[in-house]
Amino acid sequence: MQRYQGRRVLITGGGSGIGQATVHRILAEGGRVVAVDVNEAGLKATAERAAADGTADRLTTAVLDISDEAAVAAGVAAAVTALGGLDVLVNAAGILRSEHTHKTSLELWNKIVSVNLTGTFLMIRESLPALLAGDGPVIVNFSSTSATFAHPYMSAYAATKGGIQAMTHSLAAEYSKQGLRAVSVAPGSISSDMTSGTGPGLPEDTDWSLFTKLAPALGQGFAGPETVAGVVAMLGSEDGAFITGTEIRIDGGTHY
């Protein structure tokens, strides 16, 4: 499929996990991509994979902290210049930190909110003028199954993802007459850096019995990040032209 021929796409979190998989999926479908991340080494790996795939001529990478307002303004402007406009924004960047709610410091809470929720907002705000001037503009935000279903020790993370879903609905209504679509994906049971041992950082005294409802119903364990990337690619293409103001759960039936 070449659904992204001529389409200009900005993807956050492009240095690892689902964001990285989305970069490669959209490049494979003919898109031009600017991938940003705080992880310079991860972006280098993304670029190396693109070179091996023969798609490097359509990829630009840049280090960007999405929680930094000034950096986002400059980074989005540079991305729009590099692409010659903007048609799709994919907000895949995020962090997952876990702790007992009664032990969650304000510092930790603010860190999670600043990246996941505020960072997503900043990317949207700065990208909207270019998107509204683009061709079939789409914003794909990353929520999580934690926004709707119980994930122990993740109250701060869940709050940010619920906020992203609510913001997505608002965006879809506010800009609908200008042709913009806004959709959230809600992954769950997906293997990525975020869900590895270095991601959630679950408390040492974690009660694992609280996670018994978090197993994929399909019985095949966690899926790879490319599973979500395929859905994101659909949503940002003409195949998703009648989908807006909603969230799509991608979890193998974990929460059926």
Q: What is the pLDDT of residue 39?
A: 96
For 8-250, CATH gives 3.40.50.720
Please check whether residue 8 is in contact with residue 31, taking contact to mean a CB–CB distance below 8 angstroms: yes
Please check whether residue 229 is in contact with residue 20, taking contact to mean a CB–CB distance below 8 angstroms: no
Please check whether residue 115 is in contact with residue 66, taking contact to mean a CB–CB distance below 8 angstroms: yes
Please check whether residue 116 is in contact with residue 161, taking contact to mean a CB–CB distance below 8 angstroms: yes
Q: For the segment 191-233, what is each residue's pLDDT rounded down to a tens digit?
A: 766 555 445 678 989 998 887 766 675 656 778 889 999 999 9
Q: For the segment 106-123, what is each residue's pLDDT rounded down to a tens digit?
A: 999 999 999 999 999 999
* Least confident among 25-29, 78-82, 201-205: 201-205
- What 3-state DSSP class applies to 99? coil
Q: What is the pLDDT of residue 215?
A: 67
In percent, how much of the chain has pLDDT > 70? 94
Residue with tokens 């190396």: 48
Long-range Cβ contacts of 234-238 (<8 Å, 24+ apart): 235/138, 235/140, 235/181, 235/183, 235/185, 236/4, 236/7, 236/9, 236/26, 236/87, 236/88, 236/90, 236/138, 236/140, 237/3, 237/4, 237/7, 237/29, 238/3, 238/136
Residues annotated as catalytic are: 157
- Domain ranges (residues) in the chain: 8-250
Model confidence band, residue 253 (pLDDT cutoffs 50, 70, 90) = confident
pTM, entire model:
0.93
Q: For the segment 121-162, what is each residue's pLDDT rounded down to a tens digit?
A: 999 999 999 999 999 999 999 999 999 998 899 999 999 999
**DSSP secondary structure code for residue 223 in this structure:** B
